[in-house]
C-alpha cells in the first residue's frame, strides 16, 4: 500500500508533483470544460446465491442507475434469487431475474416498476380507454423545486421522475387514478391525478429508513444508519436557521452534547466543548475539519452560506480516525457541491441584523453619590495622602476637591456645590452614548450551482459587513468558494477541484476607553467640548497643567481617542484536488491534496495626537537641570506597531476503499490510507517611532539606555518590539477503518490510526502513537422475535476505543526558550522543561452505549447515549524535590473522568398540508472529575481563587470552592469558620491548608443542558423557536462590597452594615479602614456569594414567509422572507441577582439582535 522507506528526495518529488497538480487543477476548474455525454449500453453483472430480491434490485440500481419502484409489503412473496451473470445487457438480466418470480416489471425512462403479476384483463381494458395527461410541479414545503421525485401512477407500471425545476409530465394516465410521490428524505405522498398538480412534499426529519442521513468523518461519508459510533448531524436547514457571521456559533443550542462555555471566567477552557472535558492543560479545543482536512485558517473566514452540513464526531469509534487530534471531539464541516444533471441555479441570500446599544448599567455598581461619600470617608482617614503627596499620581475629581478644600484653595460652600454637581453624573451614560453604538451586520451571499451528466459545479461569493458595538470596531469579509467535479471513464474516475478564498478586514480601537477612573467622570460638556479625564496610571490635572510649556499636551480626552487605530487584514486561500478511481467493482483508490495559505497584516497606528504617543514622549522627556535643555528620547511623530503573521500548509492523503456486498456473507466496507501534513507558521513585528504616515519614514531610537521618567522616580527603556518567530508542525499518519454488516442487522466496526509528529522533538520510536477503536451495532427492530409495535425501530450500539490529545509545551529533551537580551547586551535563554524521556501522548479511553429508536409511523424518533471518557496519561504537574532545580515537573501524571448522557427526541412532522408541527428535544448530562492529580494547591486561598491552576482530586476541573460564612458580628465584621469553630482570623482561614475548612460549591459548568426547539408551519408561514436550558451549575458574585475594597465597580455598598443591629438584616460588612486584605480575600470567597447559575432562555425565534406563488414565475423559482431574533431573553433563572449567567464577567449582556433577510433562487 504505502512504502515504508525511501530516500530523502521522495518527499521533494511529491511536493513537486503536487505543486504541478495544483496548478493544472486550477486551470481545469477555471475553464470548466463541459464534457460531452456518450451513452453506453447498460450492462450488469450479478453473482448472487439465495439473495433477497430487494437487495438484488439495489445492486442493479447501483450498477445501472435504473431505479425500481417496488412495494416493500409484497416482498414476502418474492423468492430468493440465485444468479450468475456477467456483463449482460440490462433488459436481458431483468428477464432472467423475473422469470421465476411472481412479479412483472415495466421500464419507463429510468424507472423500473415491479408489481405482482395481474390476471384481470377487463380492468386493464377499462383503464386503457380513459386516459389523460397530467403535468405538475413538486416542491418542498418552502417552495423549492424538488428534482428526482419518483412519481408513480398507482396500480399501473407508469411512472416518471421530476426534473430540476420540479416539473413532471405523465401521458395517458387512467382517469381517477392516484399518484404516489416518493423522494428520499421526504414523506411519501399520495394524491388523486388531475391535469395540473402542485405538490409540496414534507420533510421526514429523523426517519430512520426513509431519510438516509449521510455523516462525514472527513475521510469518508457513511450512512448514519450503518455507523456504530456517535455522531451528531446538522443539516443545511439547521445551519441556516441562525443568522451569524461565524459558522460555529450556529451550532449553539442546536447540536446535541455541544456546550458553549459562556460566562466562564479563567482557566484553560475551550470556546465550546463536545461532551465535556478531556484534558487539563493540553489543548481543550475540538478539531475543526473542513471537507477532507483540518482547517488551519481562521474560522471567521468561512461563509456559513457555503455549508451543506456539519457532522460532530463524539465517541472513539466516530473520531478515532483522527487519532491524536480527536480527544476533544471533531467537527466536520462539509461544503456545498453542485448536483449532477441539474440546470444552473442561482441562489441569493441577503440579511441585515441590528442589535441595540449595550446596556452598561448591567453590572451593578456604587452610585456616584455613594462613591463620593466613600471617597470623603477615605480622604478623611488619610487614605489618599501618600498619593496626594507625590504630586502627580492620578486622583479623582472629588478627592481633588476635598484636597483643595483642606488646603484652603476653595471654600467649604464652593466645595459642597462642586461635589453636589459631581453626584449627578454617571459616566456610563456618556459611554453608552459616545463610545458605543448599535451594531449592524449585513450579509450577502450568492451562489451558482448545477451540473451536467458528467460534471457538477458550485461557485459562490459572500460579503459580510459587521459594524460592531464599539465605535471604530468593524469586520468585513469577502469569500469565494468554487468547486467542480468531473466524471471520466463511465464514472469510474472522478476528479474534484476546489478553490476557496477569503479576505477579511478588522478594525478596532486599541486605546478603547473601557474603564473610567471615577463613576462620575464626564466625557463631554454642555457645549460639546471633549473633556479630559483621569486614567488609572495617568497624571492628575494639577500636575499636567503646571508643567513646562515645552511638553506636549498631557491631557487624556477619551472622545478624541475614538479612532479605529488598530487594523488588520487577513487573506486566506485554499486549493484542493481529489482524484477517485474505481479499479474494479467496489475497490476505489483516492488521492487528496490540499494547500492552504494565509497571511495577516496588523497595523496599530497612533498619531502624535493620540494620548498614547503624547504620554510616551512626555514621560521620556529629559530636561538637563543645569542647561535646561530639553531632549526627547522618544521622537516627535506617530508610533506604528506593525506585524504580520502567516502560515501555509500542505496536506496529502492516499487512501484505498473497498465496499462489497458479499450477499449472504454481509456487506464489507474498508478504508486504508496514509496522510502527511506539513504546516509552517511565522510572524514578525516591529515598532516604528517618529513615524510619518505620508512617506512611511521613521526615526531610530535608543533602546539600550535607561531613561529616568519625567515625573516621579521611575524610569525605563524605550519599548523595543522587533521580533520574528516561526515554526513547523509535521505529522505523518497511517489509518484504517473497516465495518462489516451481516444479516442486515449486525454491524461490526474497527478503526485504528497511528500518528508520528515532530512536536516533541523526540526519538523516532517515541513519536508514534497508535490509537484504535471498535464498535458493534445490533438492529433489534429487524429481528424476527421483535414485535414491540410501539417502537418498531430499535438499534443498540456499543463502542470502545481511544482518542488522543497533544500538549505542545513539553519535550523529551532539555528544551529552552529564547528569552530577553540581558542588561549586558547578550541574548539569553531559559529552560522550558527538563528532559522527560518517558513522555507520552495524552489518551482518552471512550466507552459509548447508544440506542436509536423510532415510534410507530415514525412519529417520534431519536437516540439515547451513555458514555464514559477516561483521560489517562494527561499532562499534569507533579511536585518534585526542589533540590533538582525544579519544583513542578510536567509529565503524564494526571487523570480525568467524564461521564454523561446524551438524549435526543425528534417529534416528526404531523399535521396536514396547511399546518405542520415538529420539534426536537435535546438533553445532555455531563460531569467530569479529576481522578488523579499530584500537586496540591499551597493553601485554601489558592483553591478558592483558582482551582484550575492545580485541580483538586475528586472534583471537577471547573470546581468552585468557598469559605463557610456565619454572618456579621455586632461590629459588622464577617465571621468565618476555622477547624469547626467560628473565627475572624481571616488570614488563618485563607492560609489554611486543610481543605475540610472549605465548602465545595459545585461546578461552574452545567451538569444538565440542552434545548427544546419547535418548528411550526402554517400555510406560507414557518415559525421556529429554540429554548435553551442549562441547569445545576454555579457562579461566584465577584463584585460585591467586602468592607475593604474601595473600588466603585462593586455592588451592594448601600446595603453594608452601618449600625448595630444591621447584622440581622444584611450580609455586607461594615466599611473597614485601613484596608484589610485578608478580610477582603476571605469575604470575596464566602459561600454566601455563590449563586445558582441555572437558567432557561428563549435563545432565538425565526419566522419565515414563502412566496409559493412565485414558483410559476419563470424567472424566480421561489422567494423567502425571514425575520430572526437572537438573545430573546431569559424565561427563568435560579438566582435573584439581576445578572445573566451567560454574561457574568462582561460589562454588558449580549444585546438582543433583530435580523431580516431574503433568500431566493432562480
**Integer Rg of the chain from CA:** 35
* Window 901-960: residues binding another protein (CB under 8 A): 938-939
Which of 720, 1077 has the CB closer to another protein? 1077
Question: Phi and psi dihedrals of 401, rounded to 5?
Answer: -65, -45
- CA-closest candidate to residue 1159, choices 204, 502, 443: 443
- Pick the stretch among 528-536, 611-619, 813-821, 894-902 that binds another protein (CB under 8 A): 813-821
Are 845 and 802 in contact, with CB atoms under 8 Å apart? yes
Find the binder of another protein among 11, 665, 915, 1145 (CB under 8 A): 11
Comparison of 343 and 879: residue with beta carbon closer to another protein: 879
The rounded Cα 30 to chain-centroid distance in angstroms is: 32
In the complex, the smallest distance separating the C-beta of residue 313 from another protein, rounded to whole angstroms, is 25
**Of the candidate residues 664, 818, 859, 910, the single one contacting another protein (CB under 8 A):** 818
- The residue range among 7-15, 598-606, 839-847, 1119-1127 that interacts with another protein, by the rule CB under 8 A, is 7-15
Residues in region 1046-1075 near another protein by CB under 8 A: 1074
- 702 in contact with another protein (CB under 8 A): no
Single out the residue of 191, 501, 676, 975 in contact with another protein (rule: CB under 8 A): 676
Please work out the total of residues on this chain that contact another protein, with binding judged by CB under 8 A: 87
Run of H or E including 387: helix 385-390
Are the CB atoms for 453 and 164 separated by under 8 Å? no
Supply angle C-alpha 96, 97, 101, rounded to 5: 115
CB 146 within 8 A of CB 95: no
Give the span between the Cα atoms of 26 and 591, in whole angstroms. Answer: 16
379 is an interface residue for another protein by CB under 8 A = no
Whose Cβ is closer to another protein: residue 819's or residue 1021's? Answer: 819
304 close to 239: Cβ distance less than 8 angstroms: yes
Binding of another protein by 1131 (CB under 8 A): no
What is the CB-side half-sphere exposure of residue 892 using CA atoms within 13 A?
A: 18
Taking the complex as a whole, the smallest distance from the CB of residue 534 to another protein amounts, in Å, to 21
> Which stretch in 156-164, 213-221, 269-277, 487-495 sits in contact with another protein by CB under 8 A?
487-495
Q: Any contact of residue 5 with another protein (CB under 8 A)?
A: yes
Q: Examine residue 386 and tell whether it contacts another protein (CB under 8 A).
A: yes
The residue (of 619 and 757) whose beta carbon lies closer to another protein is 757
Tell me whether residue 470 or residue 806 sits nearer to another protein (CB atom). Answer: 806
Interface residue with another protein among 299, 589, 668, 995 (CB under 8 A) is 589
Which residues have CB under 8 Å from 627's CB, separation 6+?
none
Question: Which CB sits closer to another protein, 161 or 769?
Answer: 769
**Residue partners of 489: CB distance under 8 A and separation at least 6:** none
Vertex 848, ends 843 and 851: CA angle to 5°?
165
- Please name the residues in contact with 701: beta carbons below 8 A apart, sequence gap of 6 or more: 633, 634, 635, 689, 690, 718
Tell which positions 57-116 bind another protein, by CB under 8 A: none
Query: Among residues 504 and 1079, whose Cβ is nearest to another protein?
Result: 1079
- Based on CB atoms, which residue is closest to another protein, 783 or 994? 994
Position 382 contacts another protein (CB under 8 A): no
User: Is 171 a residue that touches another protein (CB under 8 A)?
Assistant: no
* Residues in contact with 137: Cβ distance below 8 Å, sequence separation at least 6, in sequence order: 145, 162, 165, 166, 167, 168, 197, 198, 199, 1111
**Nearer to another protein (CB atom), residue 816 or residue 1158:** 816
- CB closer to another protein, 911 vs 938: 938
Minimum CB–partner distance for residue 1084 and another protein (Å): 18
Q: Which is nearer to another protein, 169 or 887 (CB)?
A: 887
Residues contacting 91, CB < 8 A, separation 6+? 107
Q: How many residues does the chain have?
A: 1162
Segment 977 to 996, residues that bind another protein, using CB under 8 A: 991, 993
Task: For the segment 392-411, give every residue that binds another protein (CB under 8 A).
Answer: none
Residue 263: name the closest of 1149, 1144, 1150 by CA.
1144
CB of 16 to another protein, least distance (A): 9
Q: Are 925 and 900 in contact (CB under 8 A)?
A: yes
* CB neighbour list of residue 381: distance below 8 Å, 6 or more residues apart: 1073, 1074
Q: Is the CB of residue 727 less than 8 Å from the CB of residue 774?
A: no
339 lies in the binding site for another protein (CB under 8 A):
no
Q: How far is CA 338 from CA 318, 447, 626, 994, in A?
A: 27, 10, 80, 65
First to last CA, the chain: 47
**Residue 732: closest CA among 786, 765, 775, 768:** 768
CA 1133 to chain CA centroid, Å, is 25
User: Which phi and psi (to 5°) does residue 556 adopt?
Assistant: -110, 115
759 binds another protein (CB under 8 A): yes
Decide whether 409 or 814 has the Cβ nearer to another protein. Answer: 814
Q: Select 362 or 813, whichever has its Cβ closest to another protein.
A: 813
CB of 764 to another protein, least distance (A): 6
**Rounded to the nearest whole angstrom, what is the least distance from the CB of residue 861 to another protein in the complex?**
42
CB of 562 to another protein, least distance (A): 35
Nearest CA to 930 out of 881, 884, 980, 875 is that of: 875
How many angstroms separate the CA atoms of 1030 and 1010, rounded? 7
**CB of residue 713 to another protein, shortest distance in Å:** 4
The reply on whether position 190 binds another protein by CB under 8 A is: no
Q: Which stretch binds another protein (CB under 8 A): 50-58, 211-219, 583-591, 1051-1059?
A: 583-591
Residue 823 near another protein by CB under 8 A: yes
Q: Does 6 bind another protein (CB under 8 A)?
A: yes
* CA separation, residue 402 to residues 360, 382, 385 (Å): 29, 11, 11
Of 124, 609, 728, 913, the one binding another protein by CB under 8 A: 728
Decide: 284 and 329 in contact? Cβ < 8 Å: no
- The DSSP symbol for 432 reads I
- Residues 16-55 binding another protein (CB under 8 A) are 17
Identify which range of 462-470, 555-563, 760-768, 1062-1070 contacts another protein by CB under 8 A: 760-768
Per CB under 8 A, 829 contacts another protein: yes
Position among 362, 543, 581, 772 found at the interface with another protein (CB under 8 A)? 581
Query: Shortest distance, CB of residue 518 to another protein, whole angstroms?
Result: 24
Among residues 121, 489, 629, 1064, the one that binds another protein under rule CB under 8 A: 489
Instruction: Compute the distance between CA of residue 908 and CA of residue 203 in angstroms, rounded to an integer.
Output: 9
Region near another protein per CB under 8 A, out of 198-206, 443-451, 710-718, 1121-1129: 710-718
Sites for another protein among residues 770-809 (CB under 8 A) = 808
- Binding span for another protein by CB under 8 A among 3-11, 351-359, 513-521, 921-929: 3-11
Instruction: Please state, in angstroms and rounded to a whole number, the distance separating the CA atoms of residues 854 and 908.
Output: 10
The closest of 631, 671, 629, 630 to 654, measured between CA atoms, is: 671
Q: Is there a contact between 815 and 832 (Cβ–Cβ < 8 Å)? A: yes
Binders of another protein among residues 615 to 654 (CB under 8 A) are: 652, 654
**Binding to another protein by residue 825, rule CB under 8 A?**
yes
Supply the DSSP symbol for 356. P
Helix 368-381, helix 397-406: angle, nearest 10? 40
Pick one of 767, 1092, 1102, 1133: the residue that binds another protein (CB under 8 A).
767
In the region spanning residues 491 to 520, those forming contacts with another protein, defined by CB under 8 A, are 493
Q: What binding mask, one character per residue, do residues 873-892 give for another protein by CB under 8 A, x or -?
A: ------xxxxxxxxx-x---
- Taking the complex as a whole, the smallest distance from the CB of residue 916 to another protein amounts, in Å, to 49
Amino acid at each position: 500500500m504505502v512504502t515504508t522507506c525511501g530516500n530523502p528526495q521522495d518527499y521533494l518529488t511529491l511536493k513537486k508533483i503536487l505543486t504541478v497538480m495544483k496548478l493544472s487543477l486550477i486551470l481545469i476548474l477555471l475553464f470548466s470544460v463541459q464534457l460531452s455525454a456518450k451513452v453506453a449500453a447498460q450492462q450488469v453483472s450479478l453473482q448472487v446465491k439465495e439473495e433477497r430480491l430487494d437487495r438484488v434490485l439495489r445492486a442493479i440500481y447501483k450498477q445501472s442507475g435504473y431505479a425500481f419502484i417496488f412495494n416493500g409489503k409484497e416482498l414476502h412473496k418474492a423468492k430468493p434469487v440465485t444468479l450468475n451473470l456477467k456483463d449482460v445487457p440490462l433488459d436481458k438480466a431483468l428477464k432472467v431475474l423475473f422469470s421465476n418470480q411472481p412479479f412483472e416489471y415495466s421500464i419507463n425512462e429510468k424507472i423500473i416498476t415491479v408489481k405482482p403479476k395481474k390476471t384481470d384483463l377487463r380492468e386493464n381494458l377499462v383503464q386503457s380507454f380513459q386516459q389523460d395527461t397530467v403535468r405538475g410541479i413538486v416542491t418542498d414545503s418552502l417552495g423549492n423545486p424538488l428534482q428526482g421525485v419518483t412519481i408513480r401512477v398507482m396500480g399501473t407500471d407508469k411512472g416518471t421522475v421530476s426534473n430540476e425545476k420540479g416539473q413532471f409530465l405523465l401521458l395517458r394516465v387512467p382517469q381517477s387514478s392516484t399518484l404516489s410521490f416518493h423522494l428520499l428524505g421526504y414523506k411519501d405522498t399520495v394524491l388523486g391525478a388531475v391535469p395540473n398538480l402542485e405538490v409540496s412534499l414534507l420533510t421526514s426529519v429523523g426517519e430512520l429508513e426513509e431519510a438516509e442521513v449521510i455523516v462525514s468523518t472527513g475521510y469518508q461519508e457513511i450512512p448514519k444508519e450503518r455507523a456504530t459510533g456517535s455522531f451528531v448531524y446538522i443539516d443545511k436547514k439547521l445551519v441556516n436557521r441562525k443568522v451569524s457571521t461565524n459558522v460555529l456559533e450556529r451550532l449553539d443550542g442546536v447540536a446535541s452534547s455541544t456546550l458553549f462555555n459562556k460566562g466562564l471566567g479563567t482557566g484553560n477552557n475551550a470556546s465550546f466543548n463536545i461532551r465535556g472535558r478531556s484534558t487539563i492543560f493540553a489543548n481543550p479545543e475540538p478539531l475543526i475539519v473542513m471537507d477532507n482536512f483540518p482547517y488551519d485558517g481562521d474560522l471567521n473566514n468561512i461563509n456559513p452560506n457555503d455549508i451543506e452540513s456539519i457532522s460532530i464526531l463524539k465517541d472513539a469509534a466516530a473520531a478515532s480516525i483522527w487519532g491524536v487530534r480527536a480527544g476533544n471531539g471533531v467537527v466536520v464541516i462539509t461544503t456545498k457541491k453542485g448536483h449532477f444533471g441539474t440546470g444552473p441555479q442561482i441562489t441569493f441570500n441577503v440579511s441585515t441584523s441590528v442589535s441595540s446599544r449595550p446596556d452598561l448599567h448591567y453590572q451593578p455598581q456604587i452610585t456616584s453619590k455613594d462613591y463620593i461619600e466613600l471617597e470623603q470617608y477615605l480622604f478623611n482617614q488619610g487614605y489618599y495622602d501618600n498619593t496626594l503627596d507625590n504630586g502627580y499620581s492620578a486622583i479623582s475629581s472629588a478627592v481633588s476637591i476635598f484636597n483643595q478644600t483642606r488646603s484652603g484653595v476653595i471654600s467649604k460652600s464652593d466645595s459642597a456645590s462642586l461635589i453636589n454637581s459631581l453626584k449627578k453624573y454617571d459616566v456610563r451614560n456618556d459611554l453608552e452614548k459616545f463610545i458605543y453604538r448599535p451594531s449592524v451586520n449585513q450579509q450577502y451571499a450568492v451562489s451558482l450551482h448545477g451540473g451536467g451528466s458528467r460534471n457538477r459545479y458550485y461557485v459562490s461569493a459572500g460579503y459580510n459587513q459587521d459594524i460592531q458595538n464599539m465605535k471604530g470596531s468593524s469586520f468585513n469579509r469577502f469569500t469565494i468558494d468554487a468547486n467542480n467535479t468531473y466524471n471520466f471513464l463511465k464514472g469510474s474516475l472522478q476528479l474534484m477541484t476546489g478553490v476557496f478564498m477569503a479576505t477579511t478586514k478588522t478594525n478596532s480601537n486599541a486605546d478603547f476607553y473601557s474603564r473610567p477612573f471615577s463613576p462620575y467622570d464626564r466625557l463631554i460638556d454642555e457645549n460639546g467640548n471633549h473633556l479630559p479625564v483621569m486614567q488609572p496610571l495617568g497624571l492628575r490635572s494639577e500636575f499636567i497643567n503646571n508643567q513646562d510649556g515645552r511638553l506636549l499636551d498631557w491631557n487624556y480626552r477619551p472622545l478624541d481617542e475614538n479612532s479605529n487605530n488598530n487594523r488588520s487584514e487577513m487573506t486566506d486561500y485554499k486549493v484542493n484536488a481529489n482524484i477517485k478511481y474505481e479499479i474494479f467493482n467496489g475497490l476505489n483508490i483516492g488521492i487528496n491534496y490540499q494547500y492552504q495559505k494565509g497571511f495577516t497584516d496588523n497595523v496599530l497606528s497612533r498619531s502624535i495626537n493620540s494620548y498614547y504617543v503624547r504620554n510616551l514622549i512626555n514621560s521620556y522627556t529629559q530636561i538637563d537641570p543645569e542647561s535646561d535643555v530639553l531632549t526627547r528620547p522618544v521622537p516627535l511623530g506617530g508610533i506604528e506597531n506593525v506585524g504580520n503573521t502567516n502560515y501555509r500548509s500542505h496536506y496529502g492523503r492516499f487512501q484505498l476503499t473497498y465496499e462489497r456486498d458479499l450477499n449472504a456473507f454481509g456487506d464489507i466496507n474498508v478504508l486504508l490510507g496514509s496522510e502527511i501534513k506539513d504546516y509552517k507558521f511565522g510572524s514578525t513585528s516591529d515598532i516604528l517611532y517618529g513615524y510619518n504616515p505620508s512617506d512611511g519614514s521613521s526615526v531610530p531610537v535608543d533602546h539600550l539606555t535607561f531613561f529616568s521618567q519625567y515625573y516621579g522616580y521611575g524610569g525605563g527603556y524605550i519599548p523595543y518590539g522587533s521580533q520574528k518567530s516561526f515554526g513547523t508542525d509535521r505529522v505523518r499518519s497511517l489509518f484504517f477503518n473497516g465495518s462489516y454488516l451481516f444479516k442486515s442487522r449486525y454491524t461490526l466496526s474497527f478503526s485504528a490510526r497511528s500518528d508520528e509528529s515532530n512536536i516533541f522533538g523526540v526519538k523516532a520510536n517515541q513519536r508514534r502513537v497508535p490509537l484504535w477503536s471498535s464498535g458493534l451495532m445490533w438492529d433489534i427492530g429487524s429481528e424476527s422475535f421483535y414485535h414491540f409495535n410501539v417502537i418498531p425501530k430499535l438499534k443498540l450500539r456499543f463502542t470502545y476505543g481511544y482518542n488522543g490529545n497533544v500538549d505542545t509545551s513539553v519535550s523529551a529533551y532539555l528544551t529552552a526558550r529564547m528569552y530577553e537580551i540581558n542588561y549586558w547586551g547578550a541574548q539569553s535563554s531559559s529552560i522550558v522543561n527538563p528532559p522527560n524521556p518517558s513522555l507520552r501522548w495524552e489518551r482518552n479511553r471512550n466507552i459509548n452505549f447508544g440506542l436509536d429508536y423510532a415510534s410507530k409511523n415514525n412519529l417520534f424518533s431519536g437516540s439515547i447515549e451513555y458514555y464514559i471518557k477516561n483521560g489517562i496519561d494527561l499532562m499534569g504537574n507533579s511536585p518534585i524535590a526542589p533540590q533538582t532545580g525544579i519544583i513542578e515537573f510536567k509529565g503524564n501524571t494526571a487523570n480525568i473522568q467524564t461521564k454523561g448522557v446524551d438524549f435526543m427526541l425528534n417529534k416528526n412532522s404531523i399535521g396536514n398540508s396547511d399546518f405542520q408541527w415538529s420539534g426536537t428535544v435535546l438533553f445532555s448530562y455531563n460531569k467530569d472529575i479529576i481522578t488523579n492529580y499530584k500537586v496540591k494547591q499551597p493553601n485554601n486561598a489558592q483553591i478558592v481563587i483558582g482551582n484550575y491552576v492545580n485541580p483538586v482530586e475528586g472534583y471537577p476541573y471547573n470546581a468552585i470552592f468557598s469559605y463557610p460564612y456565619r454572618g456579621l458580628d455586632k461590629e459588622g465584621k464577617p465571621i468565618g469558620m476555622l477547624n469547626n469553630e467560628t473565627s475572624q482570623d481571616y488570614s488563618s482561614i485563607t492560609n489554611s491548608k486543610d481543605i475540610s475548612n472549605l465548602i465545595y460549591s459545585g461546578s461552574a459548568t452545567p451538569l444538565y443542558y440542552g434545548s427544546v426547539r419547535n418548528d411550526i408551519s402554517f400555510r406560507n408561514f414557518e415559525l421556529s423557536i429554540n429554548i435553551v436550558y442549562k441547569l445545576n451549575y454555579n457562579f461566584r458574585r465577584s463584585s460585591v462590597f467586602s468592607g475593604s475594597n474601595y473600588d466603585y465597580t462593586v455592588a451592594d455598598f448601600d446595603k453594608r452594615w452601618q449600625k448595630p443591629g444591621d447584622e440581622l438584616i444584611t450580609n455586607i460588612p461594615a466599611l473597614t479602614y485601613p484596608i484589610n486584605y485578608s478580610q477582603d480575600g476571605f469575604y470575596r470567597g464566602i459561600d454566601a456569594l455563590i449563586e445558582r447559575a441555572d437558567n432557561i432562555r428563549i435563545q432565538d425565534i425565526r419566522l419565515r414567509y414563502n412566496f409559493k406563488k412565485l414558483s410559476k414565475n419563470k424567472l424566480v423559482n421561489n422567494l423567502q422572507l425571514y425575520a430572526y431574533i437572537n438573545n430573546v431573553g431569559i424565561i427563568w433563572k435560579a438566582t435573584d441577582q439581576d445578572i445573566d449567567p451567560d454574561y457574568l464577567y462582561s460589562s454588558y449582556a449580549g444585546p438582543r439582535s433583530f435580523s431580516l433577510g431574503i433568500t431566493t433562487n432562480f
